[in-house]
Structure 1
Amino acid sequence: MKESLKDYLFIFVGVFLVALSLEYFFIPNNIAAGGLTGLAIVINHYIPAISTGPLVFIMDLFLFVIGFIFLGKNFGVKTIVSSFSLAGMMTFIESFLEPKAITNDLMLAAIFGTLITAIGMAIVFNANASTGGTDTIAKILNKFFHIDIGKSLLAVDFIVTLLGAITFGINIGLYGLLSVIINGIAIDKVIEGFHVCKEVTIISKKSDEIGKFIMEELERGCTFLKGVGGFTGKDTFVLYAVLGRSEFIKLKQHISKVDPNAFITVGEVHEVMGEGFKNIQ
């Protein structure tokens, strides 16, 4: 229950960031940076009586059904919450706050709008949800074909940028394409950052004590590998563990006390699956 509430809190935060970037960077500058929101910007140009918020909601309903079928009930429930939230936030901002472009410089609008959008969408994806629309298609491609979410978005959003170029001109269309490209790369990088762990190998005379600290104090598993010292020719143990960043800091502090001469190598891993981490799916 606590984990579920945490996911929904992250979803609202992520959606809020996406809504801000759309209403204050993209929509006022007619930058159709892919997705249903980009398509809504194009449609709104031809049918100004319907604002982008309601347009996004209507188109989301169709793709939501597809996502519900292919991605399961849990994903569907979270996605409908995020979709309603995004459409609702956009409609509220358009109705009561009269949003205006923070900057009319298309380059600045494209860059900062895209970075804020990427952070927001990555937060939503990390909670196993989507802001709806083409995000849902990207999630389906990621699940069944193991294509990075960012690259999937790049593929499915490309056609929207072409429509934007046809509607608003080649210059604005190219800025939309630039936003899509940056968005795809940035989302993958932000998602990777959520899951980065420290891969640690330790050679120490106090390996038993260090291993006990990892298992009992950090509540993580570790593995002892048999080795032979190249210089001494003596049998030794190599301790291997994967830890979170805060856990690694605690381990390093402990090792500095029990064996300051320990040999440690540290690497970053961007995805860890198995007991104590996320499920293998």
Structure 2
Amino acid sequence: MKINVKNGFLLFAGTFLVAFGTYFFLAPNHIAAGGISGIAIIINTIFPSLPIGLLMIGMEIILFTIGIIVIGPVFGGKTILCSFSISAQILLLEKIWPNIKPLSSDVLVQLILGILICGIGMAIVFNLNASTGGTDIIAKIINKYTKISIGKSILVADIIVTIAASIVLGVSEGMYAILGVIMNSTIIDKFIVSLNSYKQVAIISADGKSIRDYIVNELDRSATIYYAKGAYKNDKKEVITTILERKQFLKLKDYIRSLNQKTFITVNDINEVLGEGFNSII
């Protein structure tokens, strides 16, 4: 299994956010907002002597084995890395800051912050074709075979955990857990869309060749050329279309502005691009 430096850093950042949000915001308030961490919080509430991190490691072994068999070794390998990374980081946090207490008396604010931090971390991991382990593996399997979005798949997978939270931790904590699961699924879907958003750009310019060269040579992107006829002057025009990341589009816009040419640009937001140079279609 190959993981380049950038993806390795992103996976670590994603798992750290999940560990941080769980340990400092969710666990102290007994908010079992789904997932293996939620199950671990429930068990830890009943048996306080059992560390949350150790419980998570034990439960993850079975589920990541299922992930390897059903989804594949690459996904399984990354999931093993991420799940044990989260568990190890929580164990480390328990050693550094033992017996952590709620940071404030406002449970709702801590729920929102905890879910926001965890949701962003999970979205980063899912976007790299991995998962944080536990019920997220079940969600990934649901996503693979039903094409339900990963956020909604997590919502389906975590409903049982929230029901258990209502029984074990109380109705109030259970309602917080349900709210947390709904928020988590929404944040994950929205953040993944933002991570994969692109700009579809169409350009009509008298200096088309320079713009084409800039797109290909400087931005390392390709472009498609169309020819159209202007309705006002009945003249032939070259239309350059390309798909760029947001930063690339900003560079292109600055370059076009520097040309001092009359240029017409239309821009559309694209939520997903599959194919050569982008995400694999397979």
Normalised TM-score (structure 1): 0.94
Indicate if the aligned counterparts of 1:198 and 1:268 stay in contact, CA closer than 8 A. yes
* Partner residue, 2:239: 238
SS at match of 1:200: strand
Shift of 1:2: 8.7
Could you tell me which amino acid in structure 1 is paired with residue 94 of structure 2?
Answer: E
Paired residues for 1:135-150 under 5 Å: 135-150=136-151
- Residues 86-130 of structure 1 show CA distances to partners (whole Å, capped at 9, x for unaligned) of 111112222341122222311111100000001111122222221
Structure 2 segments unaligned to the other structure (5+ residues):
none
Q: Is the 8 A contact 1:206 1:259 kept in 2?
A: no
Secondary structure in 2 matching 1:28: helix
Give structure 1 regions of 4+ aligned residues with deviation exceeding 4 angstroms. Answer: none
Query: What code does the residue aligned with 1:32 have?
Result: A
Over residues 238-264 of structure 1, what are the superposed CA-to-partner deviations in whole Å (9 max), with x where a residue is unaligned? 211001222212211222233531110
Cα separation, 2, equivalents of 1:252 and 1:154:
40
The one-letter code sitting in structure 1 at the alignment partner of 2:91 is T
Could you say which residue in structure 2 is the equivalent of 1:78? 78
Q: What residue in structure 1 maps to residue 230 of structure 2?
A: 229
When structure 1 is superposed on structure 2, of 227-236 and 178-187 the one drifting more is 227-236
Residues paired across the two proteins, number: 281
Q: Do the aligned partners of 1:204 and 1:259 also contact (CA within 8 Å) in 2?
A: no
Q: State which drifts further: 141-150 or 54-63.
A: 141-150
Paired residue for 1:127? 128
Q: Which amino acid aligns with 1:97?
A: W
Are 2:32 and 1:17 equivalent residues in the alignment? no
Change beyond 3 A, Cα 1:121–1:50: same
Is the CA contact (8 Å cut-off) linking 1:23 and 1:100 kept in structure 2?
A: no
Q: Does the 8 A contact of 1:150 with 1:183 survive in 2?
A: yes
Q: Tell whether the 8 Å contact from 2:125 to 2:131 is kept in structure 1 after alignment.
A: yes
Stretch of structure 1 that moved more, 2-11 or 257-266: 2-11
2:97 corresponding residue in structure 1: 97
Structure 1, unaligned runs of 5 or more: none
Calculate the TM-score normalised by the size of structure 2. Answer: 0.94
Report the AA paired with residue 177 of structure 2. G
Change in CA separation of 1:74 and 1:170 when aligned onto 2, cut-off 3 Å: same
- Distance across 1 between alignment mates of 2:104 and 2:13: 23
SS of structure 2 residue aligned to 1:225: strand
In the alignment, is residue 29 of structure 1 matched against residue 48 of structure 2? no
Q: Do 2:207 and 2:261's aligned partners in 1 also have CA atoms closer than 8 Å?
A: no
Identity %: 43
